[in-house]
Structure 1
Amino acid sequence: ILDGYDPVKHQNEARRSFGIVFQDPSLDSELTAYENMEFHSVLYKVPRDVRKVRIKQLLEFVELWDRRNNQVKQFSGGMKRRLEIARGLLHTPKILFLDEPTLGLDPQTRNLIWGHIKSLNQEEKITVFFTTHYMEEAERVADQVAIIDYGKIIAQGSPEELKNQTNSQSLEDAFLAFTGRRIRSEEASSIDFMRMNARIWGGRRR
């Protein structure tokens, strides 16, 4: 069940209830920021009478309105990530999934993005699920954390609960206590390798 909808029986309603931002960029680099937003709004059937207002609102929110007419190929990695987040919110979802939203970004940009994400959670009451291997981010931002190792959730709770369970001073230490310090086999799949390197699901609840 997703936001009260059965994805099997109510596919369209379930699809409209969530937004998603992938780790790998999925923007059209030849289009402008505004054109990317407009194209996505058509795909998600955002009503024409609110489309322009919603695009302007979101581009201002992620501080890209002044760059709306620039091609995405001119954007930095952080700007692209902010645009992806804005695009994922166009259809006003209740739930937002973020896959490694700050991977490879500098500390200033990471801090800016988390500021936007926390505002979404607190002001628009959007439930946010995110994956990250930056454990200090999960500890600082997430209400609930699930540690995944080899495709299985092996521990779940608030950052404080996980630290208390392992008598650890940080979430990183708690992760190592749950998963061990031994480097995994080189035969592990790429997905397992990413999970091995502290892939953590974090969620901010409404």
Structure 2
Amino acid sequence: MTDSTNDSTPALPAVDAAALDAATRRFLDAARPDVAYAVLDSPVGELVAAVTPTGLVRLAYEDFHGGVDPILEDLSRRLSPRVLEDPRRLDAVRRELDEYFNNTRTDFDLPIDWSLYSDFGRRVLQATAAIPFGHTASYGDVAARAGNPKASRAAGRALGANAIPIVVPCHRVIGTSGKLTGYTGGMHRKEALLRLEGIAF
């Protein structure tokens, strides 16, 4: 029979909660997924935003794509299977979008991850990102700014594949005739974004 009063088992050292929290944070930072995402509310519907260590890589209209899962599956297939919901890493995206929709921001300062695009597609979208708030440009204009003025159709395809609408403002690109053309997410959203910027059609 063991005498519990003479238990020689050494006592465990006291745990420093602050040090543990710091260690946990370091572990979580080191174990970050390749792609972090969050679902954000907006006046034009719920948005699925995703970032990589490089920057914003996806901003999708949740309902247009049939829910969150198809968007995440596409990211997993095209970028990395390490995709995890982490709203904290999307704080800057959420803040800048809120400011845009509240008419207190006209330019986005978010870093962008362009890895989903071909060289020409990236140049088209970078040219689109340079269209000022409250202004529009034609597909031909964008193609010319991307280095190939005769490639307006290719520019249209690149814009149709824009994975970061609003931030890369493909809603500001219109037909050569001045009329509105198609938009990923629906024409009602394109019109709403242009109205927000003071452009009426």
The one of the two structures with greater contact order (alpha-carbon pairs below 8 A, sep at least 6) is 1
TM over 0.5: no
Q: TM-score, normalised by structure 1?
A: 0.25
